[in-house]
Amino acid sequence: MDPSNPQFDLWLDGAPRPAASGACFERHSPYDGAPSGVFADGGEEDAERAVDIARREFDTGRWPTTPARRRYEILTETARLLTANAQALAERMVLESGKPITLALGEVASSARCLQYYAGLALSTEGSAISERNPSALGLVLREPVGVAALITAWNFPLLGVVCKLAPALAAGCTVVAKPSHLCPGPAMLLARYLTEAGLPDGVFNVVTSQLEQGAVVGQHFASSLKVDKVAFTGSTASGRAVMRAAAVNTKRVALELGGKSANIVFPDAPLEEAARTAIGAFTFNSGQQCSAGSRLLLHRDIHDEFVAMLAEHASAQVLGDPREATTTMGPLISGRQHERVLGYIDLGRAEAKLVTGGGRPADPALERGYFVEPTVFDEVSNSSRLAQEEVFGPVLSVIPFETEEEAVTLANDSAYGLAGGVWTGSMDTALRVVKGVRTGKMFVNCYNTAGIDDMPHGGYKDSGTGREFGQVGLEEFQELKTVQILLR
């Protein structure tokens, strides 16, 4: 088998299985078009089979009643296996998605930490005795697994995006079916192998891969199945709404991690050089393909010209190149379709704003086969424009001037989204007022995605979704709360 173009079957009942139709699809590198993997093209029959397996394993109680210590051991061993195989996992991400190797290795490390974190939480239980009015009564508060969980995940973080849902689901005692994005399914398939190697019982985790058209069928089947108790989805807001509608058939739990158009706000008393350098990373990390990207930069008028010049300088320092090279900071976009979409937004920006730097494909002929886009900065953008309101999902920044703190908060909130945001200032009073005023799921103060604090909840307000991932609340998303009242005799 060619290691650069291996074949992956579905993962059902603890083993690789072909799709019922026998069909497959091939992925190609967005960097140079080389084949990167062949995957089973699952359909509705495969989705139903996966759900039936997970339902069986939950209803028999084999996994839900597995001792917490054993769940801890399996998740811990899986974390160890991810770390031991970090290079192979990272290279698979690079081949399929074009993510730079340094970012891919970081994603593997984050995924291992996430597994270890939820391994620890698997050992925790919650209960309380309540006997204030009757000493002969005992009250218990129990947390139980929600049941069969369906995970529908995106391509931009193809390993961590699965792990941050799967780890708490398994820690809680749920059984799982998953559909990774067709654009980068390999890491999820390797994860399934490592989990089985770590001792996860057959049938507890099942993966169905499929092409774009079939993928919608599989995802909708998971969401609408009466045998599924919880759906956790990451993707576009439009797709999230479709999942929510399908899931309403039996009012199952739904968690949606959707889009964003996050505002990064800079005041005159901020550390400007650091803020400018970080602002570039906030919208170019992973080539801008992240839902919490700081894609709107709100700049105080007093520092506007100076700061925009800094942005242009730092943007030019980004290294676009072969994602296999450690020096590369920006790889290609995931696909030709996404490449055309981002270039379309850049054309839109040229018509409605002032181009500062970037604006298209890099001139380097060595990159012409890849789906590359230069880090692009537009200035004097109207907050009501499409460029400021719609999620580009590429390395495009909209600079929007403001004059007062109140105006900055109003501009930040004038968005359908509410996932993340940042504020840069030397005044903690200003920072806290802005943090409280901006309606988003998370805020960064004098940093952006760089504080290094793991395991804090992630999720958004408004069209950025419902529910949270990571942290204690991430475990609770996969648990039902039960109260028990006992009268002692």
For the annotated catalytic residues, the residue numbers are 257, 291
Degrees, nearest 5: CA angle 37-43-46:
95
Question: Whole-angstrom distance between the N-terminal and C-terminal Cα of the chain?
Answer: 68
- The candidate with the shortest Cα–Cα distance to 269, out of 449, 162, 457, 429, is 429
Q: Would you call 201 exposed, middle or buried from its count of C-beta atoms within 10 A (0-12, 13-18, 19+)?
A: middle
Residue type, 234: T
Estimate the crossing angle of helix 68-84 against helix 186-198, to 10 degrees.
Answer: 130
Could you write out the three-class secondary structure of 302-338?
A: HHHHHHHHHHHHHHCCCCECCCCCCCCCECCCCCHHH
DSSP 10-44: EEETTEEE--TT--EEEEE-TTT--EEEEEE---H
- The candidate with the shortest Cα–Cα distance to 57, out of 129, 145, 158, is 145
3-class DSSP assignment, residue 61: coil
Would you state the structure tokens that stand for residue 8, as one six-digit string? Answer: 């992956």
Rounded to whole angstroms, how far apart are CA atoms 372 and 335?
10
The alpha carbon of residue 460 and the mean position of all alpha carbons in its chain are separated, in whole angstroms, by 12
